[in-house]
Amino acid sequence: MGHEYNLENYEGKSNQCLVFVEQSCPGDELPNSNGPLKTIQNGTTEEEVLKALLSRLRYLNLQVHFQCSSNFIAEQKLREALWWLYESETNRSKRAKYQEAQS
């Protein structure tokens, strides 16, 4: 459905559920609209998941036996992905303010 994911644990004994926030524009069929968003289901965001992954990679990169160039590159790419998500939110906010000013 795009908002809930079952993640396998490392040893595969059970799963953990990752739930993302679900939002839409009130009275609008298209959740990608520029209007104010209404929370339908509470949950986390992509940004929060990326921040957790970044924290984990930083921790691993400080451990001598886990250090490798692949982990450093992965950390860099996660930071880049986080930047693009913040950029997307900034642009959406600007569009919403512009649309509000036009009404």
Does residue 52 sit in the same domain as residue 102?
Answer: yes
Question: Mean pLDDT, to the nearest integer, of 87-91?
Answer: 88
Does residue 53 sit in the same domain as residue 83?
Answer: yes
Distance (Å, whole) CA 85 – CA 50 = 10
Map tokens 């998500």 to a residue: 85
Does residue 50 sit in the same domain as residue 21?
Answer: no
| Pairing assessment for the beta strands 22-24 and 38-41 based on DSSP bridges | antiparallel
Q: Which long-range contacts (CB under 8 A, 24 or more apart) does 76-81 make?
A: 78/50, 78/53, 78/54, 79/54, 81/50
Does residue 55 sit in the same domain as residue 36?
Answer: no
Does residue 59 sit in the same domain as residue 35?
Answer: no
Q: Is the pTM of this model over 0.75?
A: yes
Give the total number of structural domains in the chain: 2
Query: What pLDDT is recorded for position 29?
Result: 57
Does residue 52 sit in the same domain as residue 84?
Answer: yes
Does residue 79 sit in the same domain as residue 31?
Answer: no
Residues 39-56: tens digit of each pLDDT: 888 999 999 999 999 999
Does residue 84 sit in the same domain as residue 36?
Answer: no
The domain containing residue 68 runs over which residues? 45-103
